[in-house]
Structure 1
Amino acid sequence: MTQWIPVLVRLEDLEKVTALLAELEAGRDGSGLENVYEIAEARPTSTDSPGTDATEPWSVEQLARLASSSTATGQRWAKALDVCCDQPGTYLPTSKVAELSGMSITEWRDAPRKISRHLKAHFADVPREADGDLSWPLSAKSMPNHPGEVSWMATTETASRWSEVRHAQA
Structure 2
Amino acid sequence: MVHLGRSISIAELRNFAETGETSRQLRWYLNVANLEPERFRAVLTREVTLNLQLVDRITHSVPGEFFLFQLGQIIHTPSRQANIQALRSSLILSVSEDNRLSLLEFMENYPTQGIHVDGVVLARTANRVRGVIDNIEPVVASVEEFLGGLICDCEAPQPTATTQ
TM-score (norm 1): 0.30
By percentage of residues, which structure has more helix? 2
Larger radius of gyration: 2
Scaled by the length of structure 2, what TM-score is found?
0.31
